[in-house]
Amino acid sequence: MVCLGNICRSPLAEGILQDKAFKRGLTWSIESAGTNGYHTGEPPHKLSQKVAKLNGINISNQRSMRFTATDFDVYDKIFSMAADVTGEMRRIAGNKFDASKVELLTNELFPGENVDVPDPWYGPEPGYHEVYKLIDNACEAIIAKYTILNNQYSTIK
């Protein structure tokens, strides 16, 4: 799960997908990262934490980390929160970029539409609730799709 700073969208996506996988007995390894290093080592945004907690998910122990080219060696599937994030992943990874491993998260809900998950960073709390709902629905689609594929993926970023 990758966004720009790894403090708003991708920590929510990590927490939501971990919760859903755990509840279904899946042993997936799920992490998140950001394409910039502005917040490395910081916890998720307070409103991301609040919205997650209101939905029964604790993301307070997560710490922002930076996306690296070696992530393509480690993860089976990498979900991007937005097209500009995918572009930054391509730049960071260089010749390690593997387009077959990358998908916009919302394409799990709206195949081929390439809709970005809105960045709630600059807005008020209601935007975080909307982002949570969108990510939650996409993560539910991931669980349904990839468990049908016989647990094809075990490591997700």
Q: Is the pLDDT of residue 94 over 70?
A: yes
Per-residue pLDDT, 157: 73
For the annotated catalytic residues, the residue numbers are 3, 9, 119
| pLDDT tens-digit readout, 34-66 | 999 899 999 999 999 999 999 999 999 999 999
Per-residue pLDDT, 146: 83
**139-148: Cβ within 8 A, 24+ apart:** 139/13, 139/16, 139/17, 139/20, 140/20, 141/108, 141/109, 142/17, 142/20, 142/79, 142/108, 143/17, 143/20, 143/21, 143/24, 143/26, 145/108, 146/77, 147/24, 147/26
Instruction: Let me know: does 103 contact 76? Beta carbons within 8 Å.
Output: no
| pLDDT tens-digit readout, 107-147 | 999 999 999 999 999 899 999 999 999 999 999 999 998 87
pLDDT, greater one: 66 or 155: 66
First to last CA, the chain: 4
